[in-house]
Structure 1
Amino acid sequence: MKTLFKNYLNTFNGLSKEVWWLALITLINRAGTMVIPFLSLYLTEDLEFTLKDVGWIMTAFGLGSVAGSWLGGKLTDKIGYYKVMVRSLLSTGVLFIALQFLNTFASLCVGIFLVMLVADMFRPAMFVALSAYSKPENKTRSVTLIRLAINLGFSAGPAVGGLIITTMSYGGLFWVDGITCILATVVLFLVLNPKKAKIQDDIIVKNPDSAYNDKAFFIFLIAMFLFGFIFLQYFSTMPIYYREAHVLSELQIGLLLGANGFFIFLLEMPLIKWLENSKHSKSSLMFFGAVLTALSFIVLNISTWSGVLIVGMFLMTVGEMIAFPFSNAFAMERAKKGNQGEYMALYSIAFSIAHIFGHNAGMRLVDGFGFDNTWLIMTGLGGVCAFLLFLLNIYVKKNPIKK
């Protein structure tokens, strides 16, 4: 057991101090966005909005995310990742605190849009910072560490958020959210100032290529949109399926969804370390991840036995653990030939668009065609995603990035 634990810790070796600080800042930031899981409840119960109104407010949430990712990429290329990260975190903290004072439909649509616009400017800037502070050979594992921080933040955030609502009301939630973002800004300012921190991979491109002219990257973005579209079903339509088709209790559903985060925390870093040492390309590994995720839907139609839910969750979790880190590393590698902020912004936008359409489309498909047919459609979309990644693998082998 001691040897196993030591081998697990060894998978973190070689990551720079700055990457660890960036992971801590991400953890504080993500744990701090605890208002997000409770937003629909706050809008319906506290402010008494209709579900139709909440739907439009959540659309403003998605649109703000897309606009913020795009703007963050542009500003990162213009003024640098550090300034964008500091200003995004600090402004998000202030806006979260201010959000509690909005109570009309129009003001909340604008307010939520602005919060997400400013908050998601952080993402492309963070990815570029991650690329700068990571040695080229450690970038995939650096991404994996950030994912661990995000997963821990999302796990702790709702639990703490529920406690705050119980003891302090929703108003306290906005205050704590805002303060944690401001604290993350302070940590960032103290430990990650580029003048003091050690840059591991300072990429300077004299004549950068536009991401919009990169054919391989656009194949990749379409594939990532499709992957995000089907992946998000596990957090919207799938819990309803667990409840209605398999009559699971809230506790059982929570344990099943919680197993996803637990396995990621336990296995993702060793798995990525092992795959990094293999001879497989990033695009071929993404293909494998997409296939596993697509299979996680089709197995649900094989049997009415509830054990298939565990099989499906396991396949999706392994697919996610492979596809996300290597897709992120692929985007950062591709960004070396052009405007890094622009590349990483488009990567973030692909998933933001998946958020806008994925949840709503999944619900409508279930309502119109039932669960079994919806899972067949999701498997088909996963197959299209895998096929695009197969084509991408062929393309990048024939057209490698010039060093």
Structure 2
Amino acid sequence: MKTIFNNYINAFKGLSTEVWWLALITLINRAGTMVIPFLSLYLTKNLHFTLSEVGWIMSAFGAGSVVGSWLGGKLTDKIGYYKVMVFSLVLSGFLFISLQFLNTFLSISMGVFILMIVADMFRPAMFVALSAYSKPENKVRSVTLIRLAINLGFSAGPAIGGLIIVTLSYGGLFWVDGITCFLAGVLLLNVLHPKKARIADEISVENPKSAYNDVNYIIFLFAMLLFGIAFLQYFSTVPLFYKEVHHLSEFEIGLLMGMNGFIIFALEMPLVKSLEKSIYSKTGLVVFGAILTGLSFLFLNMSGWAGVLVIGMLFMTVGEMIAFPFSNAFALERAKKGNQGEYMALYSIAFSIAHIIAHNSGMHLIASYGYQITWYITTVVMILCIGILYYLKWRMVQQKDKQ
């Protein structure tokens, strides 16, 4: 037991102080995003929207994320990551609180769209900051630490969110979201001011390569788009499946989703550290993660027994633990060739587009064909993702492009 504990602690050694501060800021911010997993339930249960209307609102969520990620990347390359992060955190705090006062389809669609523009400006800026503050040999583990912060916040957030819904109301979630955004912004202003940073705020590359001309990167992004379409079902249609088919309460749903974050917090860093030293390439590891994620949807169709929900969540969690850190690291390494804000914006945009497609298509598929067919179709999407990643891996070997 002592050896296991020492190995876990050693996995965190060598990371810079700035990366730890970024992780804490991300933890505070993410702990407050408990509205997101319950958004589809809030829209159907409290505001009585149809599944089709919820799908369109979630598409507005994704569209705002696309615009925000693109704008965040542009502004990061222009004015630096620090200013973009502060602006995003503070303003999104106001917008989260305001969202609860909207109650029509049009107003909520516009509110969610604007909120996500502001909120997702943070992502490319944060990735560039992470790249700036990380030692080259610690890139993957630095990304993993940020993911641990996200998932620790996510493990606590839904569980607390479920309690707030049961004891108070959905409205309390919006207040918590807004307040935590403010707290994250205040902490950022106090601990990561540019004058305290050991690396310049602006990062430039001599003769930068456009990310749009990096063919291998575009292929990779298309695979991540498909991965995102499947993965994001766990944040919209899967909670409805838990509620409508297996009759779980909001608190039980929060605990099940919180299990995902807790497992990642406990196991991802040691797992990533061991895989870093393996013979497998980053693309090969992403493939393995995608296979496990695809299998998780097959488990949802296996039985009416509630235990399959736990098994499916475990497969998805391990797949996520492998795929995301190494896909992030792949993107950061490619970004060395050009404008880092542009590269990381495109990485974020791939998942933002997935938000547009995933939630809307998932809701419509369920409304038209039911949950079982939806999970089979989602599995096929993951098979396509795996095929594209295999092609990318083969292509890079042929080119001897060892990223």
TM over 0.5: yes
Measured in 2, the distance between the counterparts of 1:242 and 1:101 equals: 28
Q: Does 256-265 or 278-287 show the bigger shift? A: 256-265
- Residue matched to 1:76: 76
**Residues 57-88 of structure 1: per-residue CA shift (max 9 Å, x gap):** 33322211111011101111111111111111
Q: Give the match for residue 17 of structure 1.
A: 17
Letter aligned with residue 81 of structure 2: Y
Report Cα offsets for 1:25-83 as digits up to 9, x if no partner. Answer: 01111122333344455556666666655444333222111110111011111111111
Alignment-derived partner of residue 128 in structure 1: 128
Contact 2:296 2:312 (8 Å CA) reproduced: yes
TM-score, normalised relative to structure 1: 0.88
- Judge conservation of contact 2:86–2:188 (CA < 8 Å) in 1: yes
Cα distance in 2 between the residues matched to 1:234 and 1:215: 30
CA contact (8 A) 2:81 2:201 kept: no
Cα 1:241–1:105, aligned 2, differ >3 Å: closer, same or farther? Answer: closer
1:397, CA displacement in angstroms? Answer: 3.0
Paired with 2:178 and 2:369, the residues of 1 have a C-alpha distance of 42
CA deviation profile, 1:350-391 (whole Å, cap 9, x unmatched): 111112221332343344445444433323221211111112
Partner of 1:142: 142
Q: 1:55 to 1:394 in 2, by over 3 A?
A: closer
Quick one: which amino acid aligns to residue 132 of structure 1? A
Cα distance in 1 for partners of 2:290, 2:24 equals: 29
Aligned-pair CA distance for 1:138: 0.9
**Mind listing any 5+ residue stretches in structure 1 that lack a counterpart?**
none
| 1:191-270 to 2 correspondences below 5 Å | 191-199=191-199, 204-241=204-241, 247=246, 249-250=248-249, 255-270=255-270
1:109 aligns with 2:104: no
Structure 1 residue 316 corresponds to structure 2 residue 280: no
- Structure-1 separation of matches of 2:293 and 2:84: 34
Alignment of 1:268-279 (within 5 A): 268-279=268-279
- Name the CA distance, whole Å, in 1 between partners of 2:325 and 2:362: 25
- Match of residue 330 from structure 1: 330
Tell me the distance in 1 between the aligned counterparts of 2:102 and 2:244.
36
Decide whether aligned partners of structure 1 residues 372 and 116 sit closer, same or farther in structure 2, where only a CA change above 3 A counts. Answer: closer
The structural deviation recorded for 1:253 is 5.5
Say whether the 8 Å CA contact 2:51–2:367 is kept in structure 1. Answer: no
CA contact (8 A) 1:133 1:200 kept: no
CA-CA distance at 1:180 after TM superposition:
2.1
- Alpha-carbon shift at residue 89 of structure 1 (Å): 1.0
Query: Over residues 218-264 of structure 1, what are the superposed CA-to-partner deviations in whole Å (9 max), with x where a residue is unaligned?
Result: 1101100111111223344444555666x464476555444322321
Which whole-Å CA distance do the structure 2 matches of 1:160 and 1:307 have between them? 23
Report the alpha carbon displacement of residue 336 of structure 1 after superposing the two structures with TM. 0.6
Greater relative contact order (CA < 8 Å, ≥ 6 in sequence): 2
Question: Does the C-alpha gap of structure 1 residues 3 and 125 become closer, same or farther in structure 2, counting only changes over 3 Å?
Answer: same
Q: Which whole-Å CA distance do the structure 1 matches of 2:111 and 2:264 have between them?
A: 34
The one-letter code sitting in structure 2 at the alignment partner of 1:207 is: N
Q: Deviations over 1:197-229 (max 9, x none)?
A: 223998531111111111001110110011111
Distance 2:304 2:160 in 1: 36
Give the number of equivalent residue pairs: 402
Q: Is the 8 A contact 2:90 2:182 kept in 1?
A: yes
Partner of residue 297, structure 1: 297
CA distance in 2 between partners of 1:375 and 1:57 (Å): 21
User: Within 5 A, what are the aligned runs for 1:361-376?
Assistant: 361-376=361-376
- CA distance 1:331–1:48, shift in 2 (3 Å): same
Percent identity between the two aligned chains: 70
The match for 1:57 is 57
Q: After superposition, what is the alpha-carbon deviation per residue over 1:284-313, rounded to whole angstroms, capped at 9, x for unaligned?
A: 111111122223334555667665544433
- 1:171 and 1:290, CA in 2 relative to 1: closer, same or farther beyond 3 A? closer
Whether the 8 Å contact between 1:95 and 1:178 is mirrored in structure 2 is: yes
Closer/same/farther in 2, CA of residues 14 and 252 from structure 1, 3 Å limit: same
C-alpha distance 57-235 of structure 1, shift in aligned 2 (>3 A): closer
1:309–1:401 Cα change, 3 Å: same
Deviations 1:78-113 (A, max 9, x none): 111111111111221233344445455444333322
Residues 1:353 and 1:249: Cα distance change in structure 2 (over 3 Å): same
2:34 aligned residue? 34
> Please, what is the CA RMSD of the aligned residues?
3.0
1:188 alignment counterpart:
188
Residue in structure 1 matched with residue 157 of structure 2 by the alignment: 157
Amino acid at match of 1:21: W
